[in-house]
Amino acid sequence: MLPERISNDLCSLREGEDRPALAVRMRVNGRRKKSHSFHRIMMRSAAKLSYQQAQAAIDGRRTTRPGRCWSRC
């Protein structure tokens, strides 16, 4: 397990806050990777979701929280 400060602060996505991240861009042709590059980026999460809410959104199911709509509402 990660220490609480890391899991709840430094490495946590926070709704509406800019957070540094590392992204990879990959070019693929069929089933083969042609190239890749890594990028340091800033991202902003639109919502703080539980693992279950995130999986539901990936699966295309509706996920809601009072007053908010995360996926196809």
| Identity of residue 39 | H
The C-alpha atoms of residue 33 and residue 27 are separated, in whole angstroms, by 6
The C-alpha atoms of residue 56 and residue 51 are separated, in whole angstroms, by 9
For the stretch 7-39, pLDDT in tens is 777 777 788 889 888 999 999 999 899 999 999
Kindly report the pTM of this predicted structure. Answer: 0.52
The C-alpha atoms of residue 32 and residue 29 are separated, in whole angstroms, by 5
The band of 66, judged by pLDDT with boundaries at 50, 70 and 90, is very low
Q: Map out the domains of the chain as residue ranges.
A: 4-69
Query: What is the average pLDDT across 64-71?
Result: 51
The C-alpha atoms of residue 46 and residue 65 are separated, in whole angstroms, by 13
- 47 CB-contact burial (10 Å; exposed 0-12 / middle 13-18 / buried 19+): middle
Percent pLDDT > 90 in the chain is 26
Which DSSP category does 17 fall into? Answer: -
